[in-house]
């Protein structure tokens, strides 16, 4: 039995030409505040269970919430970065029973969120509408003991309230994403924005960025939305892509065989690569939202919002534009990657020192994955210039760069210490002449048009010099000798 | 029934500060009165005798060392059992909080402590403050010290009874729909419902957050003023606390009512008011006129709908506030096979009938498809009442009405009929819906010899003027 790329027998990619996938995402990001949304307990990942708590975050009788202004500021930063309208907002109680929720209601925002009607631009230039980005508190965490950690077979459960009350911003996109790939780009871009404005650390692996996706399909060309399924438990960009592809395929298969798609909440299982039904629309909670009477409406002044706007750093999109302008011939993917890795400033600085943009970006994208370390922009610029001048081969440059990242310093000094003194022109000429003399047969065949034999000579030159010879320089010399011979014949 | 020499809180504080009385002897006297009368009255869920004696000793030591212990030096205070006290059980007269001991003090408790007060105990109440007779307590009813066959009113019946019985000169209660004023009227003491936000709610176990307010009970208007001054003021731990400090009401108590425009609230003074209560109100109006106030009929048409709106908004908020009593973290837990079953078993066993009734009403009022018709409409009515009062305040400085339609009723008389019980609050709920201030002042007795209370209503933050009128009524008796 063959296994398709989704890990599911018989299923291929859902690139069905008759169907269109429609995706809307709800992203929850933990805001990078010192304290919780409504109390002075620390907002910190990990820690001994139930140590980052106080009467308010435990929802003890008589406790009252007091809004953390820093969380509001971060929410406004996100709203501005997503070009949202920042408006007067009202906190609301979302009521449902769950042991990891201390008050058995969550303080969230409902019909009057702080940020509405924004957009996010994918690296492709396509704009995705943002419906809202609102503030709410996080829940605690339940651990099921026994029965393999599954709730129904567990012997008992323990609750850790360290996370209860941590500030979240929930960013809801419009259903304008059209593929798993776009969804991944959207989340990557959103994460970059959240990190850039200092709102969140964006760590999916620590749960500080969580994604629920709403997936539906419809006949291509239709403008009506199909019944959607909400998918939970998507914990990485990779799972996001896989879950959407699986779910779209599942829905297409249902519709193609004449069966309806039931509106459901579904759970993504990483191990079997499938989504599983959690509950139907009818089983959905009635959250009985109503305005939170313990908090006043939130009405950020226009002056304060403007002050925050002026303090915003350059956003990834602007940084990409700037880098692309400075390096017009460089591939957009490399530009995006440089910005995503926050290496754009370094690249721009190196270019302003006169280094060739293509080569700078090549190093940035391929050789600085672990970060720039001790590498100074000036050193990167010098390194690229040495390469251009033929003083270092590409292989050597890479090794020099590694030293600069680890230890800093100048490329000239590092090259010297590595023994990468470039061969002088006379030495290389003598070497090439020697190789021609030793291999007359290969030489005449190459002169006769057997182009691949250039590699033979370059290889011999490398071997003879222990890699010091510059392959390009060897080829140039070979060409020069051939034209001399044909000229004298 | 009391052996305590009837000293007011103001007198006690002056005597303790000057060294004429020790705080210890004051507390001992009150503890003796409790010992003598508590078996009949049942005002307390907990009497903190040892803690009170220790605290009184500290006050005396401070006085001896030349340190001023504060404006309530050595004054015994009874606290309603829904105010959190660190290290002292806080039950809300409910089984569901079995064994829970708060790790913190309510702001009002801190402030009274800082003012030199001595806490003598936690008083009985209707469970979670839901009721008008203190019969809805898991620990049995409180009886009215004026006539033990009668209820003390509620929900703060224990605090009202404690003051009426001389167990403490002052007490704190909470008022969500009349829970301070109505028992004050039925027990013949002064009871104040301050402007919403004047007193911090931090540490008050919530019933209906947008309506709850803490206030004092006292035998005299001056004592009520002294306690209110000690507990009011901004608090960063309550977001609904009014940020601007207000002038102390004690400073202007004796300024009289000459020239004040006082309205008799027509909608709360006609139908359904017992004749003896109505005549008490007429006598009070006469006294205010004699003191120079200009009295006229005032109308707040929407106030007639107050009770209906109240009995949707309060249960709606309560259904959410009381969700946390789920057996997971504290209080009662009745074990079961799964967490949801444990939640249900715990709540079924832990809550009394009236609390369950209101949780169900509130849950229904907020449910999808019913929200607009019930909770949403009630909020609109609330806005109408606020608007109606706003226009009345253009013509009047204060309003008066009866506090309760009747004098104290008998135990068991209204327990079988929730609607009859809810009608006890008809005069008091509009003030909670608007957030305004009101006070109940005892004014004579009815045909049954039981106390009649007169309610004085003031606009938001109108406490100083309201207390002036209360003092005039008190002096005219």
Encode pLDDT of A131-172 as tens digits: 999 999 999 999 888 776 666 677 788 999 999 999 999 999
Work out the burial of residue A456: count CB atoms within 10 Å of its CB; fewer than 13 is exposed, 13-18 middle, 19 or more buried. Answer: middle
CA–CA separation, A152 and B188 (whole Å):
58
- Residue reference for tokens 């750093």: A313
pLDDT at A151: 65
pLDDT at A464: 81
Answer whether residue A7 is part of any domain.
Answer: no
- Put simply, the answer to whether A59 touches B324 (Cβ < 8 Å) is yes
Dihedral angle computed from the Cα positions of residues B357, B360, B366 and B371, in that order, rounded to the nearest 10 degrees: -80
Residues A208 and A166 grouped into a single domain? yes
Q: What are phi and psi of B25, to 5 degrees?
A: -70, -35
Q: Which of B179, B232, B269, B424 is catalytic?
A: B179
Q: How far is CA B408 from the centre of its chain?
A: 16
B82, B240, B363 ranked by CB distance to A288: nearest: B363
Strand B76-80, strand B170-175: pairing: parallel
Q: What is the mean pLDDT of the segment spanning B269-291?
A: 94
Q: Which comes out higher in pLDDT, residue A451 or B314?
A: B314
Q: Is B206 on the interface with A (CB under 8 A)?
A: yes
Nearest to B196 by CA among B470, B418, B12, B459: B459
pLDDT at A150: 66
pLDDT at A11: 45
Residues A58 and A109 grouped into a single domain? yes
Q: How far apart are the first and last CA of chain B?
A: 23
Q: Identify all chain A residues contacting B317, using CB atoms and an 8 Å cutoff.
A: 290, 293
pLDDT averaged over chain A?
Answer: 89
- Put simply, the answer to whether A290 touches B368 (Cβ < 8 Å) is no
> Is the pLDDT assigned to residue B4 strictly greater than 60?
no
Answer whether residue A294 is part of any domain.
Answer: yes
pLDDT at A153: 72
Q: Do residues B327 and B371 touch, judged by C-beta distance below 8 A?
A: no
pLDDT band at residue A3, thresholds of 50, 70 and 90?
very low
Which CATH number goes with the domain that contains A444? 1.10.10
DSSP label at residue B297: E
> Is the pLDDT assigned to residue B172 strictly greater than 60?
yes
Other Cβ atoms closer than 10 A to B72 = 30
**pLDDT digit string (tens) for A459-475?**
888 888 777 777 778 88
Q: What is the mean pLDDT of the segment spanning A78-94?
A: 98
pLDDT at A1: 36
> Is the pLDDT assigned to residue B439 strictly greater than 50?
yes
pLDDT band at residue A427, thresholds of 50, 70 and 90?
confident
pLDDT at A16: 61
CA–CA separation, A219 and B189 (whole Å):
76
> Is the pLDDT assigned to residue B1 strictly greater than 70?
no
Q: Which of B17, B80, B122, B193 is catalytic?
A: B80
pLDDT band at residue B165, thresholds of 50, 70 and 90?
very high
Is residue B80 part of the annotated active site? The answer reads yes
CA–CA separation, B275 and A374 (whole Å):
91
* % of chain B at pLDDT higher than 70: 99
Q: Is A97 on the interface with B (CB under 8 A)?
A: yes
Domain count, chain A: 3
**pLDDT digit string (tens) for A325-356?**
999 888 888 898 898 888 999 999 999 878 88
Distances (CA, A) of B174 to B209, B216, B306: 11, 8, 19
Q: Helix/strand/coil (H, E, C) string of chain A? A: CCECCCCCECCCCCCCCCEEEEEEEEEEEECCCCECCCCCCECCCCCCCCCCCCCCCCCCCCCCCCCCHHHHHHHHHHHHHCCCEECCECEEEEECCCCCCCCCEEEEECCCCCEEEEEEECCCCCEEEEEEEEEEECCCEEEEECHHHCCCCCCEEEEECCCCCCEEEEEEECCCECCHHHHHHHHHHHHHHHHHCCCCCCCCCCCCEEEEEEEEEEECCCCCCCCCEEEEEECCHHHHHHHHHHHHHHHHHHHHCCCCCCCEEEEEECCCCEEEEEEEHHHCCCCCCEECCCCCCECCCHHHHHHHHHCCCCCHHHHHHHHHHHCCCCCHHHHHHHHHCCCHHHHHHHHHCCCCHHHHHHHHHHHCCCCCCCCCHHHHHHHHHHHHCCCCCHHHHHHHHHHHHHHCCCHHHHHHHHCCCCCCHHHHHHHHHHHHHHCHHHHHHHHCCCCCHHHHHHHHHHHHHCCCCCHHHHHHHHHHHHHHHHHHC
- Residue reference for tokens 């004429």: B20
Nearest to B41 by CA among B169, B144, B150, B124: B144
> Is the pLDDT assigned to residue A10 strictly greater than 90?
no
Answer whether residue A435 is part of any domain.
Answer: yes
Q: Is A59 on the interface with B (CB under 8 A)?
A: yes
Is residue B209 part of the annotated active site? The answer reads no
Q: Which residues pair with A212 in a beta bridge?
A: A26
A387: tokens are 């390469």
CA–CA separation, A463 and A456 (whole Å):
11
pLDDT band at residue B467, thresholds of 50, 70 and 90?
very high
pLDDT at A451: 83
Q: Do residues B3 and B29 touch, judged by C-beta distance below 8 A?
A: yes
Strand B118-123, strand B76-80: pairing: parallel
**pLDDT digit string (tens) for B296-323?**
999 999 999 999 999 999 999 999 999 9
Quote the pTM value: 0.88
Answer whether residue A217 is part of any domain.
Answer: yes
Dihedral angle computed from the Cα positions of residues A266, A271, A272 and A275, in that order, rounded to the nearest 10 degrees: 10
CA–CA separation, A254 and A216 (whole Å):
12
Strand B118-123, strand B190-193: pairing: unpaired
Q: Cα angle at B420 between B419 and B424, to 5 degrees?
A: 110
**Boundary (domain end) residue, out of A277, A308, A339:** A308
Residues A262 and A335 grouped into a single domain? no
pLDDT averaged over chain B?
Answer: 96
> Is the pLDDT assigned to residue B378 strictly greater than 60?
yes
Residues A393 and A438 grouped into a single domain? no
Q: Which residues pair with A107 in a beta bridge?
A: A93
**Boundary (domain end) residue, out of A308, A329, A360:** A308
Specify the 3-state DSSP secondary structure of B26. helix
E strand or H helix at B467, and its extent?
helix B463-476
Q: Identify all chain B residues contacting A289, using CB atoms and an 8 Å cutoff.
A: 366
pLDDT at A156: 85
Q: What are phi and psi of A301, to 5 degrees?
A: -70, 150
Q: Is A102 on the interface with B (CB under 8 A)?
A: yes
Q: What is the mean pLDDT of the segment spanning A183-198?
A: 95
Q: What is the mean pLDDT of the segment spanning A119-137?
A: 95
**pLDDT digit string (tens) for A354-370?**
888 999 999 988 889 88
B375: tokens are 């909770």
Handedness of CA B74, B78, B83, B84 (dihedral sign): positive
pLDDT band at residue B44, thresholds of 50, 70 and 90?
very high
CA–CA separation, B318 and B458 (whole Å):
27
pLDDT at A4: 35
Q: Do residues B73 and B16 touch, judged by C-beta distance below 8 A?
A: yes
Q: Identify all chain B residues contacting A293, using CB atoms and an 8 Å cutoff.
A: 208-210, 240, 317
Most A CBs within 10 Å, among B104, B238, B242, B324, to test the A interface: B324
Residues A400 and A271 grouped into a single domain? no
Q: Give the residue numbers spanning the domain of A158.
A: 19-308
CA–CA separation, A305 and A132 (whole Å):
17
**pLDDT digit string (tens) for A11-61?**
444 456 799 999 999 999 999 999 999 999 999 988 999 999 999 999 999
- CB contact residues (below 8 A), chain A span 276-305, against chain B: 286, 288-290, 293-296
Residues A28 and A152 grouped into a single domain? yes
A354: alpha, beta or left, given left = phi > 0 and alpha = psi -120 to 50?
left
Q: Which residues pair with B47 in a beta bridge?
A: B121
A200: alpha, beta or left, given left = phi > 0 and alpha = psi -120 to 50?
beta
Q: How near does any CA of chain A get to the CA of B441, in Å? A: 29
CA–CA separation, A107 and A109 (whole Å):
7
* % of chain B at pLDDT higher than 90: 95
pLDDT at A149: 62
pLDDT band at residue A425, thresholds of 50, 70 and 90?
confident
- CB contact residues (below 8 A), chain B span 57-86, against chain A: 82-84
Answer whether residue A407 is part of any domain.
Answer: yes
pLDDT at B419: 86
Q: Identify all chain B residues contacting A66, using CB atoms and an 8 Å cutoff.
A: 236-239
Dihedral angle computed from the Cα positions of residues B22, B25, B26 and B30, in that order, rounded to the nearest 10 degrees: 170
Q: Identify all chain A residues contacting B207, using CB atoms and an 8 Å cutoff.
A: none
> Is the pLDDT assigned to residue A278 strictly greater than 80?
yes
Strand B398-402, strand B294-298: pairing: unpaired
Distances (CA, A) of A253 to A18, A19, A275, B246: 12, 10, 14, 70
CA–CA separation, B474 and B218 (whole Å):
12
Q: How near does any CA of chain A get to the CA of B132, in Å? A: 22
Residues A131 and A208 grouped into a single domain? yes
DSSP H helix total and E strand total for chain B: 15, 11
Answer whether residue A1 is part of any domain.
Answer: no
Q: What is the mean pLDDT of the segment spanning B337-347?
A: 95
> Is the pLDDT assigned to residue B428 strictly greater than 90?
yes
Residues A194 and A103 grouped into a single domain? yes
**Boundary (domain end) residue, out of A418, A439, A463:** A418
Q: Is B376 on the interface with A (CB under 8 A)?
A: no
CATH code for the domain defined by B1-477: 3.90.1300.10
Question: What is this model's ipTM?
Answer: 0.96
Q: Do residues B82 and B100 touch, judged by C-beta distance below 8 A?
A: no
Dihedral angle computed from the Cα positions of residues B105, B107, B113 and B119, in that order, rounded to the nearest 10 degrees: -60
Q: Identify all chain B residues contacting A95, using CB atoms and an 8 Å cutoff.
A: 319-320, 323, 366
Q: Do residues A419 and A393 touch, judged by C-beta distance below 8 A?
A: no
**pLDDT digit string (tens) for B397-427?**
999 999 999 999 999 999 998 888 888 899 9
């Amino acid at each position: 039995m063959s296994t398709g790329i989704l890990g599911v027998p018989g299923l291929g990619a859902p690139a069905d030409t008759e169907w269109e996938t429609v995706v809307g995402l709800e992203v929850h990001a933990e805001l990078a505040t010192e304290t919780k949304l409504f109390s002075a307990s620390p907002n910190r990942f990990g820690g001994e269970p139930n140590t980052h708590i106080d009467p308010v975050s435990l929802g003890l009788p008589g406790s009252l919430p007091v809004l953390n202004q820093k969380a509001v500021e971060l929410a406004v930063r996100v709203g501005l970065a997503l070009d949202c309208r920042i408006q007067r907002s009202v906190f609301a109680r979302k009521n449902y029973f769950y042991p990891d929720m201390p008050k058995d209601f969550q303080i969230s925002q409902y019909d009057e969120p702080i940020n509405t009607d924004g957009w996010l631009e994918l690296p492709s230039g396509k704009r995705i509408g943002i419906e809202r980005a609102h503030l709410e508190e996080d829940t605690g965490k339940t651990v099921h003991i026994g029965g393999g950690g599954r709730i129904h077979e567990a012997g008992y459960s323990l609750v850790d309230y360290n996370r209860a009350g941590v500030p979240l911003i929930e960013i809801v996109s419009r259903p304008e994403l059209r593929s798993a790939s776009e969804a991944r780009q959207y989340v990557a871009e959103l994460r970059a924005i959240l990190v850039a404005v200092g709102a969140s650390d964006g760590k999916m692996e620590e749960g500080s960025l969580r994604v629920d996706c709403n997936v539906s399909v419809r006949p291509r060309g239709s403008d009506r939305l199909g019944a959607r399924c909400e998918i939970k438990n998507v914990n990485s960009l990779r799972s996001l892509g896989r879950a959407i592809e699986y779910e779209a395929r599942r829905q297409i298969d249902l519709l193609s065989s004449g069966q309806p798609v039931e509106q459901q909440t579904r759970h993504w299982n990483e191990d079997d690569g499938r989504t599983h039904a959690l509950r139907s629309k009818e089983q959905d909670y009635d959250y009985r939202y109503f305005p939170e009477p313990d908090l006043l409406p939130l009405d950020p002044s226009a002056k304060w919002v403007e002050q925050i706007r002026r303090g915003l750093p350059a956003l990834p999109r602007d940084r990409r534009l700037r880098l692309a302008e400075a390096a017009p011939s460089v591939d957009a993917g490399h530009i995006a990657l440089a910005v995503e890795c926050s290496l754009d400033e370094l690249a721009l600085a190196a270019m302003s020192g006169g280094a060739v943009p293509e080569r700078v970006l090549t190093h940035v994208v391929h050789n600085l994955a672990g970060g720039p370390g001790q590498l100074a922009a000036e050193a990167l610029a010098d390194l690229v210039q040495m390469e251009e001048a033929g003083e270092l081969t590409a292989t050597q440059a890479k090794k020099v760069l590694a030293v600069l990242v680890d230890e800093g310093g100048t490329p000239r000094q590092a090259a010297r210490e590595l023994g990468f003194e470039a061969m002088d022109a006379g030495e290389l000429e003598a070497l090439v002449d020697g190789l021609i003399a030793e291999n007359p047969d290969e030489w005449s065949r190459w002169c006769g048009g057997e182009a691949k034999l250039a590699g033979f000579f370059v290889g011999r030159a490398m071997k003879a010099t222990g890699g010091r010879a510059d392959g390009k320089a060897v080829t140039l010399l070979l060409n020069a000798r051939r034209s001399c011979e044909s000229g004298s014949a | 029934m009391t052996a305590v020499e009837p000293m007011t809180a103001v007198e006690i504080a002056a005597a303790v500060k000057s060294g004429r009385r020790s705080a210890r002897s004051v507390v001992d006297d009150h503890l003796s009165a409790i010992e003598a009368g508590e078996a009949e009255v049942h005002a307390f869920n907990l009497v903190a005798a040892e803690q009170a004696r220790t605290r009184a000793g500290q006050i005396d030591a401070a006085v001896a060392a030349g340190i001023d212990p504060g404006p309530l030096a050595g004054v015994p205070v009874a606290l309603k059992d829904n105010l959190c006290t660190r290290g002292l059980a806080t039950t809300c007269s409910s089984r569901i909080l079995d064994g829970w001991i708060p790790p913190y003090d309510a702001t009002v408790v801190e402030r009274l402590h800082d003012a030199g007060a001595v806490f003598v105990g936690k008083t009985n109440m209707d469970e979670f403050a839901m009721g008008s007779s203190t019969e809805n307590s898991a620990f049995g009813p409180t009886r009215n010290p004026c006539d033990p066959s009668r209820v003390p009113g509620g929900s703060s019946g224990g605090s009202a009874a404690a003051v009426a019985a001389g167990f403490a000169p002052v007490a704190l209660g909470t008022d969500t729909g009349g829970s301070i004023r109505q028992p004050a009227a039925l027990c013949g003491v002064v009871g104040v419902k301050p402007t919403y936000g004047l007193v911090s709610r931090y540490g008050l176990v919530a019933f209906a957050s947008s309506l709850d307010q803490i206030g004092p009970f006292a035998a005299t208007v001056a004592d009520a003023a002294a306690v209110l001054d000690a507990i009011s003021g901004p608090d960063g731990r309550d977001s609904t606390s009014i940020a601007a400090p207000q002038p102390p009401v004690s400073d202007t108590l004796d300024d009289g009512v000459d020239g004040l425009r006082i309205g008799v609230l027509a909608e709360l003074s006609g139908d359904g008011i017992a004749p003896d209560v109505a005549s008490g109100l007429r006598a009070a109006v006469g006294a205010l006129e004699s003191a120079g106030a200009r009295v006229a009929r005032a109308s707040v048409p929407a106030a007639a709908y107050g009770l209906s709106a109240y009995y949707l908004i309060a249960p709606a908020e309560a259904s959410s506030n009381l969700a946390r009593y789920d057996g997971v973290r504290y209080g009662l837990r009745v074990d079961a096979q799964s967490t949801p079953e444990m939640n249900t078993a715990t709540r079924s066993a832990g809550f009394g009938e009236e609390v369950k009734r209101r949780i169900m009403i509130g849950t229904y009022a907020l449910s999808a498809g019913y929200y607009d018709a019930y909770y949403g409409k009630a909020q609109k009515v609330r806005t109408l009442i606020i608007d109606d009062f706003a226009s009345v305040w253009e013509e009047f400085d204060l309003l008066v009405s009866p506090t309760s339609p009747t004098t104290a009723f008998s135990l068991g008389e209204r327990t079988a009929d929730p609607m009859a019980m809810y009608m006890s609050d008809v005069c008091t709920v509009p003030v909670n819906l608007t957030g305004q201030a009101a006070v109940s002042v005892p004014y004579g007795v009815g045909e049954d010899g039981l106390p009649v209370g007169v309610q004085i209503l003031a606009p938001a933050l109108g406490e100083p003027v309201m207390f002036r009128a209360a003092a005039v009524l008190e002096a005219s008796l």
